[in-house]
Amino acid sequence: MADSPRPARVRVAPSPTGDPHVGTAYMSLFDRALADKTGGQFILRIEDTDRNRYVADSEQQIFESLAWLGLEPDEGPHKGGPVGPYRQSERLPLYKEAAETLLKSGHAYKCFCTADRLATLRKIQQAEKSARMGYDGLCRGLSAEEVKAKEAAGEEYVVRLKMPREGDIKVEDLFRGTLSFKADEQQDAVMLKSDGFPTYHLANIVDDNAMGITHVIRAEEWIPSLPLHFELYRAFGWEPPVFAHMPLLRNKDKSKISKRKNPTSLLWYRDAGFLPEALKNFLGLMGFSLPNDQEIFSYREFLQHFDLAKVNIGGPIFDVQKLHWLNGEYIRALDPAEIEKRLVDYVKLLMHREVEFMDLPEDQLPTDQFLAEFEQKRRKRSRVLAQLAPQLMTSYEVNPALLLPIIPLIRERMHTLGEAADYLPMFFTDEFSYTPEDFVQKKGTLDDAKKALNAMREIVQIADFNDAEGAVKQMDELSRAKAEELNLKLGPFLGPVRMAITGSKVSPPLMESMLVLGKEETLKRVDNALRFLG
RNA sequence: GGCCCCUUCAUCUAAUGGUUAGGAUACCGCCCUUUCAAGGCGGCGAUACGGGUUCGAAUCCCGUAGGGGUCACCA
């Protein structure tokens, strides 16, 4: 089925109940793409009809996260637009009126059943393992007089939709074709709660209609309420939109993605140092693919090949490990100046956010091993960078050229910006906590280490640090000669030096690092180590 | 449990009746190498099962199994 030529109006409709969700971004990507492909609009609507779950800054974070990903809506609470307001809490009269309409046309009725009765009913149904669960429609048969009497007595009520009792309800899904539901298995869902607020179902349909939504792209979990939504459109006499139920993003165990088993917050991905374009690319890989096995693509390329009908509806597992790889590819594709800019912005971000992340409870750690380890490292790195930040930023402001030479040395070692924490500190501090054993190489002695350090001291003194390329070559050649003289292989010869210079057994390339540090600092670190070893 | 959806390597996916079932991640090995990476090369590895239809099935049909979603005055 081809997309209709008319411009699509699509929407994403998150509830501001917590951190901005990766599923929201996923839907937004496909919404944005369909809108762009057809020359339509992508709308953000905040569904804040549940006052109990409302989280104050959640809405702002949704705006920011979508902006971060480059998935800006054309219309929304923060953007305005012709069919606003875009916050459901500001559209309450509309829903009341709609409920009134349904009541008048006989498509809905007032239900006075108490929460108590409903709970008891549920219990009985569960105990009997009844095939028919849910509301039994007791109040559907109330006479006008009975309704009037109960209202006069001040009894609270909800408004329920009268679902058909016979036949099948058939609804089209763009991916699945005709979906068929038995009418007698549906229940009369609540439209208006007793507090006068609409339920999701009412508000959603009223707004989609009022906002001219042509395609409802939403997650698969909504399929069970599709007959209800369809009947609502019928009750109002409105033309339903195209429904496209996207696959659900999954945890490793195939269950619906959840924060207990997988990071779901877009803020988490940003704070871990994932690039927005990489995450966006990765999301585009979920249930979709480009020709010729192309896996790395810009949004522009994605759009070029985008076709909603080509979505693969098997629920994809959100594999952070593959995202990790993809993010590394993106980092390596950036030029050093750009990486530097991202890194500086990232460090600034962490300075402000570090405190919030220090002491997350243990049970919020992802369970999967890679994730658990990744999260552990992420926190550690976040801390390292945040601690380093004041010094780094001060130096950076004093000398903007400071970071740039380091970037090429660490670029292909990073998969996330956060991993810069593994390599950056050694360029800003020479206070290392090494032990004598750290200098001793396999099959080597402490004496070998000292000899290597002394040899390197001479080499560094000879080298001309003003000629970077020449110096690296020169030091390399001299090191080889010296190593041979000491009857050592190059690796073991450089081991102690690496420890002295970088404070670690693992580091960016040694000669290049020394060059960045400068001759004076390099010699100082060698001397520090020699003094330490006695 | 009822209803509904889904099913190609561990994972993301390609192949819309004819392929030795392709690519990527992960993993393993080799090469490169100054540690760690990155890179290069190679390896491992899938059509859930059973019936049809057809000359021919991953692809179409039926059944089974498995997985998932959902059954609120939450969205």
**Which residues 334-393 on A are within 7 A of strand B at the CB atom?**
none
| pLDDT at residue A361 in the model | 46
| pLDDT at residue A120 in the model | 87
Average pLDDT of chain A, as a whole number: 92
**CA A28 to C1' B18, whole Å:** 40
**Which residues 495-524 on A are within 7 A of strand B at the CB atom?**
498, 505-512
Query: Are the C-beta atoms of A20 and A62 separated by less than 8 Å?
Result: yes
A257 half-sphere exposure, CB direction, 13 A CA radius: 22
* Nucleotide at minimal C1' distance from the A160 CA: B73
**CA A315 to C1' B53, whole Å:** 30
Instruction: Evaluate if the CB of A221 falls below 7 Å from strand B.
Output: yes
Rounded to 10 degrees, what is the CA torsion of A145, A151, A161, A234? 70
| pLDDT at residue A358 in the model | 52
**CA A432 to C1' B28, whole Å:** 36
Instruction: Evaluate if the CB of A13 falls below 7 Å from strand B.
Output: yes
Using CB atoms within 10 Å of the CB of residue A16, give its burial: 0 to 12 exposed, 13 to 18 middle, 19+ buried. buried
In terms of pTM, does the model score above 0.80? yes
Query: Catalytic site residues of A?
Result: 259
Q: Is beta strand A242-246 parallel, antiparallel or unpaired with respect to A41-44?
A: unpaired
Of A452, A501, A448, A444, nearest in space to A478 by CA: A452
* Nucleotide at minimal C1' distance from the A197 CA: B73
Instruction: Evaluate if the CB of A134 falls below 7 Å from strand B.
Output: yes
**CA A204 to C1' B8, whole Å:** 37
* Nucleotide at minimal C1' distance from the A313 CA: B6
**Which residues 456-495 on A are within 7 A of strand B at the CB atom?**
472, 476, 490-491, 494
Enter the ipTM: 0.97
Instruction: Evaluate if the CB of A53 falls below 7 Å from strand B.
Output: yes
**Which residues 279-298 on A are within 7 A of strand B at the CB atom?**
285-289, 293, 295
pLDDT in tens, A190-208: 999 999 999 999 999 999 9
With helix as H, strand as E and coil as C, how does A266-318 read?
Answer: HHHHHHCCCCHHHHHHHHHCCCCCCHHHCCCCCHHHHHHHCCHHHCCCCCCEC
**Which segments in chain A show pLDDT lower than 70?**
1-5, 131, 353-368, 398
Q: Return the residue matching tokens 């109960």.
A: A150
* Nucleotide at minimal C1' distance from the A317 CA: B11
* Nucleotide at minimal C1' distance from the A116 CA: B73
| pLDDT at residue A94 in the model | 97
Q: Which residue's C-alpha is at the least distance from the C1' of B35? A: A506
**Which residues 421-460 on A are within 7 A of strand B at the CB atom?**
none
